[in-house]
Structure 1
Amino acid sequence: MPHLTQAGDPPEPPQLDGLVLRRATSGDREAVWPLVRQIPGDQPDRGSFDRSFGPLVSLLDTYLVVAESPDEGLVGYLLANFHRTLAAGGSVVWVSEVAVLPSARRQGLGRELVRAAERWARSVDAVSVSLATPGAGDFYRALGYVEDATYFSRSLA
Structure 2
Amino acid sequence: MRVIEVRSAEARDEAALWELIRAFPTPTPISADAYARMFQRKLDDPCALIAVARQGETLVGYVSGHKHSAFYAAGDTAWVDEIFVVNHGRRMGVGRSLMTAFESWADDVGCKLASLATIGAADFYRALGYATKAGYFKKYLGDGKQSTEPSRQAK
- Classify the TM-score, shorter chain: 0.7 to 0.9
Residue segments in structure 2 that go unaligned for 5+ positions in a row: 144-155
8 A Cα contact 1:40 1:134, kept in partner: no
Identity %: 38
Query: In the alignment, which of 101, 106, 109 is matched to residue 121 of structure 1?
Result: 106
Identify if the C-alpha distance between structure 1 residues 128 and 82 changes in structure 2 by more than 3 Å, giving closer, same or farther.
same
1:66 counterpart residue number: 52
1:48 counterpart residue number: 34
Runs (4 or more) in structure 1 with deviation over 6 Å come to none
2:72 counterpart residue number: 87
- Cα distance in 2 for partners of 1:39, 1:145 equals 23
Give RMSD over aligned pairs.
1.6
| Alignment length (residue pairs) | 141
8 A Cα contact 1:61 1:83, kept in partner: yes
Residue segments in structure 1 that go unaligned for 5+ positions in a row: 1-15
Flag the structure with larger Rg: 2
- Cα distance in 2 for partners of 1:112, 1:17 equals 14
1:137 and 2:127 correspond: no
Within-5 A mapping of 1:11-22 = 17-22=2-7
- Cα distance in 1 for partners of 2:48, 2:109 equals 11
8 A Cα contact 2:7 2:101, kept in partner: no
- Cα distance in 2 for partners of 1:154, 1:87 equals 22
Question: How far has the Cα of 1:134 moved from its partner?
Answer: 4.3
Q: Which amino acid aligns with 2:133?
A: D
Q: Which amino acid aligns with 2:23?
A: Q
- Cα distance in 2 for partners of 1:44, 1:29 equals 17
Identify if the C-alpha distance between structure 1 residues 142 and 38 changes in structure 2 by more than 3 Å, giving closer, same or farther.
farther
Q: If the length of structure 1 is used for normalisation, what is the TM-score?
A: 0.83
3-state SS of 2:66 partner: strand
Question: How far has the Cα of 1:35 moved from its partner?
Answer: 1.4
